[in-house]
Chain A
């Protein structure tokens, strides 16, 4: 009897879907827990999300549903080994009313198991693991960032319409990379594209020369990759140095350039990516947000900050309806499900599985800047495989 990993997670999920009341709303102050990385390679993301959340709260007079906000931050160091202890520190130790975070998907999986048993209202502000709003979906768990599917699936169509029929896939071999590739292949094979080769690179190894030589020899129409942060910066530079930049067009989800565009410099010129946000989106909410974020922190806002900003705005709207009563269970969840936001990323609402329904944009690097070429997928909704809520 071999249970696939997904089924096993599902089994664990059903056993805890009991309709227990949410943690009662006690005390005037609204305690919001931040499970984010403040040290290590993802520290920059942790700080951006936190600062954007505080900015949004300030715009609401630092009161949500009439209650003064108290932030409780814990540095998760993106270390899954410490995740259970850190989550315990926030839920059982600090007794936060609402838990938000994390960035790393391994930490998210640990958090999900505890949160679904402790029944604490949780908003995932970055980790794109499918299971969060898939096999592990739960009434009191929402996500304001994205699912790995959303940022990769649309890129398949983009490449096919550009006439790239033969593609090589290269990705960091951990869950984020694997899920991105699965989503891309779903779209690409459906559209008649053929995957010449899948190159899985051990995470966090950044020695790409061997694989770049392979790609050069295979001469595919295009390459779709998943890398992020410093690894993405290095990959793009190595890709250009290997002379592939002008011969084989490079595609990826937005994380290939997000936050490391400056570090990549000219090497990133021409790269097309799909993401639910772009710095250059010209809508009023985005302009206002970027200005106030720049004023508040001196740094430019990015996709991670947007998720933080929207999280607090969603809470402000929902808690307003229930007058700040986090113990309001059904009413609060219904209020959250009903929220509509005019977010910097564009129109924002929750799907039945509590994942954002949002436009995914096609962007290209021109002159060192992200230019929005158009909408790659309108109102993209994660298939939420394995989630029975609302179906």
Chain B
């Protein structure tokens, strides 16, 4: 029960910042919350379905580039139009990449997803028409004021959590958990497991698209560096640090990493060593991640 209260308190605290009008915290926490959406949506795959995907940043970047493309080339600005279009782009990519990647399993699956995310990275990085290595500006952002963008991100985070928590308690979520524990047994019980994994892949990819859309809205700048395997690796580390299979754990991990990165630099130029120490400590002493600290980190 205390976990639910903590979550509520956290959501309210983040919500209040919307009215603070402090330009720095609006953008800093906005970016951190986008990190939470990415980490939670990846946890649906890593923590609940046992699928370790390194393609997550590809869908994030694709939605961001879709917004830049739609706004700059077609002049569409209204979010009611651009949001569904960008989500569709991310979902379609997730469907195709998912359908192909799921033919492989285990580490081979991980590497196929890495291959696709790198191919997408080079598609944008190497072609001047798509902005090349310098990236693109979003000519006119769907939401101009920073506070409005913050509220949109906050709402997306809360809705994403509720949606994922809901899905995980529904029959579909139960089936995913069965697949994570023993996929072969689930098949012999009559579940077409690859289709379930593909649906999970598309849901997670679409939510990553939401995060990408919001990031492009918050900053008005998209760059291929957001697409590479390094970004996917970072999201995976966030999920593992926070505690996979708990949904709120990865969100905790995203917030913590954002603060460490921000304040770490004040402490030492070698702030990366701080993160290294934290990561190694968590792996060795907190097998269930940070969520392990919160009331035994029971399943969502």
Contacts and interface: CB of A to CB of B under 8 A. Distances in A.
Indicate whether A and B are direct neighbours in the complex (CB within 8 Å).
yes
Given A75-B269, A202-B126, A106 B136 contact: no
A19 B299 CA distance: 56
B129 interface: yes
Interface stretch (B202-210, B219-227, B237-245, B246-254): B219-227
Interface in A72-116: 73-75, 79-81, 83-85, 88-89, 92-93, 105-106, 109-110, 113-114
Given A80-B135, A178-B128, A178-B132, A92 B27 contact: yes
B73 A84 contact: no
B28 interface: yes
A81 B231 contact: yes
Chain B binding surface, main DSSP class: helix
Interface size class of A (residues with CB under 8 A): 35 or more
Nearest to B130: A5
Nearest to B228: A81
Nearest to B75: A1
Contacts, number: 99
Contact of A85 (B27, B135, B136, B272): B27
Contacts of B115: none
A238 B265 CA distance: 38
Nearest to B264: A75
A105 B134 contact: yes
Given A80-B225, A109-B134, A109-B221, A85 B28 contact: yes
A159 B209 CA distance: 50
A88 B28 contact: yes
B193 interface: no
Contacts of B221: 83-84, 109-110, 113-114
Given A5-B128, A80-B225, A202-B126, A113 B28 contact: no
A106 B133 CA distance: 6
A79 B228 CA distance: 11
B133 A92 contact: no
B139 interface: yes
A70 B224 CA distance: 34
Interface stretch (A6-14, A191-199, A346-354): A6-14
Interface string B32-49: 000000000000000000
Interface string B169-204: 000000000000000000000000000000000000
B28 A129 contact: no
Given A89-B262, A92-B27, A110-B221, A8 B132 contact: no
B131 interface: yes
A339 interface: no
Interface residues on B, range: 35 or more
A114 B218 CA distance: 11
Given A80-B223, A110-B219, A5 B131 contact: yes
A105 B262 CA distance: 23
A85 B31 contact: yes
A71 interface: no
Contacts of A129: 134
Nearest to B231: A81
Contacts of B137: 8-9, 12, 109, 113
B132 A174 contact: yes
A2 interface: yes
A203 interface: yes
A106 B225 contact: yes
B203 to A, nearest CB: 24
Interface string B254-283: 000000001001000101100000000000
Contacts of B218: 84
B23 interface: yes
A38 B269 contact: yes
Contacts of B22: 92
Contact of A202 (B122, B219, B231): B122
B73 A3 contact: yes
B219 A84 contact: yes
B133 A175 contact: yes
A105 B132 CA distance: 11
Contacts of B128: 5, 178
A174 B133 contact: yes
Contacts of A292: none
Given A89-B28, A109-B135, 18 more contacts: A3-B73, A5-B131, A5-B132, A9-B137, A12-B139, A80-B226, A84-B31, A85-B27, A88-B24, A89-B24, A92-B23, A92-B24, A113-B137, A113-B220, A113-B221, A114-B221, A174-B132, A202-B122
16 contacts: A5-B131, A5-B132, A8-B137, A80-B135, A80-B223, A81-B231, A83-B223, A89-B24, A89-B28, A89-B262, A105-B134, A109-B134, A109-B137, A110-B135, A113-B220, A202-B126
